[in-house]
Amino acid sequence: MKNMLSGTAINFSASSAASATDAALGDLPTWKLQDLYPSATSTAFTGDMEKAGRQAIAFEEKWKGKLADAATKEGAEGIGQALKEYEALDEIIGRLGSFAGLTYFSDTSNPVNGKLYGDAQAKITEFSSHLLFFALELNRIDDAIIDACMAHDPDAGHYRPWLIDLRKDKPYQLEDKLEQLFLEKSMTSAAAFNRLFDETMAELRFDVDGEKLPLEVTLNMLQEKDPEVRRKGAMALAKTFKENLRVFTLITNTLAKDKDISDRWRNFEDIADSRHLANRVERDVVDALAAAVKQAYPRLSHRYYKMKAKWLGMDQMNFWDRNAPLPETSNAVIPWNEARDTVLSAYSNFAPEMAAIAKRFFDEQWIDAPVRPGKAPGAFAHPTVPSAHPYVLVNYLGKPRDVMTLAHELGHGVHQVLAGAQGALMCQTPLTLAETASVFGEMLTFRALLDNTKDKRERKAMLAQKVEDMINTVVRQIAFYEFERKVHTARKAGELTSDDIGELWLSVQSESLGPAIKISEGYETYWAYIPHFIHSPFYVYAYAFGDCLVNSLYAVYQKADSGFQEKYFELLKAGGTKHHSELLKPFGLDATDPSFWSKGLSMIEGLIDELEALDKSA
């Protein structure tokens, strides 16, 4: 996620790749950040930092207060020229921030990385303060003048999607001095508490039988076959989260209040409206999605977990059994090379061009795969800038879910490569559609594996895992969204205690998981480790949006005679130049149609039906 990383920090040595070898997993790759800069102390990095500073000041001196006049001109004095210069600066700053961010997330516990993170963020904020006027001043120009400018100036016309998109921010735009204050204060408010969360989480260790484990390894215990191992992992997580709740509660309260202040000054009506605006999606579309998913809880998660409890020989599962493997699931660790070949083969069967792009991530060291102390947990794909290439971070432990995560993040990577041709200003896809390629990549990989599986027991295990992944992507993420809504709403009335937040967490979890899962002591702390609540409030609905959208998209693909791949690639190449309604129209899909979400959810229900049929025939 680019907005999690921009302005971040330092240098990760490729020599540590040799130490990241495990007998079962094989050689796990680490990324080669030298494609961005040789190091944080290189003349290339320091030179670009100085260059960006000089050019930001020069840009402000050249264009500030003159854009209205420039809108009536063409060529070197026109808005189109200003946009080209602005985009070139955005490219340099984006490259600096990407290098700093990716190296910081390679090891957030390294104090040298932390310093670079802070220094780079401060510099980028300083540069941005000189560029802030540009969007604000453009939005003060009459729409008719800008429309005429785009029509007569080819350079300005090129940026039409960006300029039209910019207008949507107009109602929430503040006076210039206030905007500058908000920007500069972000360093000591939201950005500071984001960093506190990341570094605190990276330092946490979870005691399991005397062994101090990092977060990813401990979370992975919840997918082990042995119920006692799952219980120990769950209790270790709960204990350490509880010991650190004071910090996480402070972070949550501070960021919720910070957002409330910003929303109030900008006159956003709803607590999630700023996210909807950033995603370029209408509030009623998201409301319809959330309502459809909540209405489907009994048919999806409640029903599935009841079936799973029976398969595990339980009347009711403990909360740590939610992602437990079925008895039919193989214990074998999936080597890295096998995971790579599985994903590339699935991509190739859909479109060789897609596999060719994904293969570059492996061949050219664009992936960081090993689990290690200090490394950021989870997984992400960061687009960097169009003049470079994306990078993928995973924490690979050889589980089937890790293969699906790899397929997911490579989907993002392919999307980012294809959208890069739109340039730095227009390549970024709104988050709602940014999950399309990733979830589609997962689906391709799953379907390829399922088609090659003839054994009923193996097929049941695979179907069950896919259903769980889809429930985690759709049901769980909408429950997260509802939790955030409750937290941010309650925060308006005053500061929340850890117990207050825990109660809100349990209320949405019990509703979404259903009666087949026993929510016992300890689970009330599990809200604390979810990074999306910290880095990107209300981001989580994008996963459910993407999954339901892809379910509908995949159904179109299954019925299509020809031409689907070409239309799909056009969707990805569009980046941020088109609204979701325009991108989905060639496939006959419309997210504003109330029945759209029901169609997407019906695919999950169909997989549960297939599981039930397999169970009865066994």
Which pLDDT belongs to residue 81?
A: 97
Task: Check pLDDT > 70 for residue 140.
Answer: yes
Q: How crowded is residue 294: how many other Cβ atoms within 10 Å of its Cβ?
A: 17
317 with 517: CB under 8 angstroms? Answer: yes
| Two domains, one topology: 2-188 and 207-330+475-535 | no
What architecture is the 336-471+545-595 domain classified under in CATH?
A: Orthogonal Bundle (1.10)
pLDDT value at 8 more than 70: no
The domain 2-188 having CATH identifier 1.10.3720.10: the answer here is: no
| Least confident interval from 10-24, 199-213, 320-334 | 10-24
* Residue among 93, 107, 109 at smallest CA distance from 36: 93
Cβ atoms 203, 373 nearer than 8 A: no
CATH architecture of residue range(s) 207-330+475-535: Orthogonal Bundle (1.10)
Distance of alpha carbon 607 from alpha carbon 601, whole angstroms: 10
**pLDDT at 593 (0 to 100):** 83
CA 174 vs CA 15, 274, 531: distances in Å: 48, 14, 29
> Mind listing the pLDDT tens digit for each residue in 462-507?
899 999 999 999 999 999 999 999 999 999 999 999 999 999 999 9
Please write the tens of the pLDDT for every residue from 52-80: 999 999 999 999 999 999 999 989 999 99
Q: Is the pLDDT of residue 19 over 60?
A: no
Domain ranges of the chain: 2-188, 207-330+475-535, 336-471+545-595
Judge whether residue 226 has pLDDT over 90. yes
What number is the average pLDDT over the span 175-194?
92
pLDDT tens digits along 151-160: 999 999 999 9
Q: What is the mean predicted confidence (pLDDT) over 310-315?
A: 94
| SS3 state of residue 314 | coil
Of residues 12 and 404, more confidently modeled: 404
The one-letter code for the residue type at 554 is Y
- Helix ranges restricted to H, 297-382: 303-311, 336-350, 352-363
